[in-house]
Amino acid sequence: MPNLVDSYGRRIDYLRLSVTDRCNYHCCYCRQPGDASCGSQRDFLGHGEMLRLVRLFSELGVRKVRLTGGEPLLRRNLAELAAGIASLPGISDLSLSSNGHLLERLAVPLLAAGVGRVNISLDSLEPENFSRISGGGDLHRVIRGIDAALAAGLSPVKLNMVVMRGINDHEIAGMLDFALARDLDLRFIETMPVGPAGAGSMVHYYPAARILDRIRRHCGSQLLPLHTHPGPGPARYYRAGDSNLKVGVISALSRHFCATCNRVRLTARGDLVLCLGQQDRISLHAALQRDCSDAQIRQEILAAIARKPQRHDFLHGAGQPVTVPMVSLGG
C-alpha cells in the first residue's frame, strides 16, 4: 500500500473530513458574533463525492478519518455516510468531533455505522458561562450526549476544552473532576488566531504552561508523561499521579507540533486544506466538476501534499493570515 508523504518526510495518514460548515452553536473562538456560514448548502459535496474522495485518499495511504464540521451531526444521513467510509478498504479508524448537542439520539446509530471514537467540545460546566461561550448552547443536553456516548460504547470519549483567560480558565479544576468522575479523557487546548477575528482573539490566550500548573495544583501530585499514547497527534498526554485520569494539552502556539503533523483537511465544499495556520488550499470539488478520472484526482492530491507547508506561522505573522472562520475549516 502506498504512503502519502510530504516534502518534509511526514507521512500523511489522517484526513479530517468536514461534512458541513453549518453549526447549531456559535462558539466565540470559532465564529464572530453575527457570522453565518457563507454560500449555499447546495455547494456541499454529496455523499457519493465524499466517499469517492475518501476512497482515493485511502488508496494513497490514509488510514484515519475524522468526521468534523461545523457540527457534523447536522448532516442528513450521517450514519449512512459513516458506514460507507468505514467499509472502505484501508480505513481502520473512523472517529467524530461534535458539540454533543444531538449526540443523545445519534450515539447508537453512529457506533453501529462504524464510528469508534468521539471528541466532544465542552468549554464550561457553568450553564450561563457555557451559554455565553457557545452562543446559546444547552449544557445539560451536551452532558446527556456525553453520557449517551459512554452508554453506547463509543471509546474513548474525549472532552476538548479551549481555555480562555478571563472566560473559563477558572474552570480547569472543575473540568478535571468532571472527567475523572466519568472516566473520560480530557484535553485542554490553546486558542489560535484563526478566522476573521484573527489576532484579536488572542486577548484571551492562556498558554499551555499555565494550564499544566493549574492541573498540578489541583491534582496535588506530579503529572506523569504518557509516552505510549498511539499516533503523532497534537496533544501531549499525562496521567495525574495514581488516578486513571488521562489529560492532554494541545499547545498549537507555545509548543507547536508541526514536525509530526500527519493530517490534512477536506472541507464540506471540497477544498483540501493543507495546514490550519496557512491559507494555501486546492479545490478537489473543481476536479470532480471537470469529471476528472480517479488517476487525475490522485495526482492532484499528490501535488497538493507536496506543497504542504513545513509549519504554521501563527506567532511570526509570515504569509497571509487565515481569515476563514474555524467553522468552515473542520477544526
pLDDT digits (tens, 9 = 90+) for 62-106: 999 999 999 999 999 999 999 999 999 999 999 999 999 999 999
Share of the chain above pLDDT 70, in %: 88
Q: Is 9 exposed, middle or buried (0-12, 13-18, 19+ CB in 10 A)?
A: exposed
Q: Is the CB of residue 121 less than 8 Å from the CB of residue 32?
A: no
CA atoms within 13 A on the CB side of 21: 26
Residue 167 Cα distances to 21, 24, 34, 204, angstroms: 25, 21, 20, 8
In sign, the C-alpha dihedral spanning 82, 85, 90, 91 is negative
The whole-number pLDDT of residue 192 equals: 80
Q: What is the C-alpha separation between 323 and 306, in angstroms, rounded?
A: 23
Structure confidence by residue, pLDDT tens digits, 238-275: 987 778 889 999 887 767 778 889 999 999 999 999 98
CATH topology of domain 14-328: TIM Barrel (3.20.20)
Q: Is 93 exposed, middle or buried (0-12, 13-18, 19+ CB in 10 A)?
A: middle
pTM recorded for the entire structure:
0.92
Better-predicted residue by pLDDT, 229 or 81: 81
Residue 164 reports pLDDT greater than 70: yes
Residue 40 reports pLDDT greater than 90: no
Which grid cell is 86? Answer: 468505514
The whole-number pLDDT of residue 209 equals: 93
The whole-number pLDDT of residue 210 equals: 95
- Determine the residue type at 226: L
Which grid cell is 200? Answer: 484579536
Better-predicted residue by pLDDT, 155 or 202: 155
The whole-number pLDDT of residue 318 equals: 45
Written as one string, the DSSP assignment of 226-247 is: -S--SS--SEEEEEETTSS-EE
Structure confidence by residue, pLDDT tens digits, 303-318: 999 999 987 765 544 4
List the domain boundaries for the chain.
14-328
Mean pLDDT of 36-59: 86
Mean pLDDT of 182-206: 79
Mean pLDDT of 197-225: 82
The whole-number pLDDT of residue 321 equals: 53
Which grid cell is 155? Answer: 471509546
Residue 27 reports pLDDT greater than 80: yes
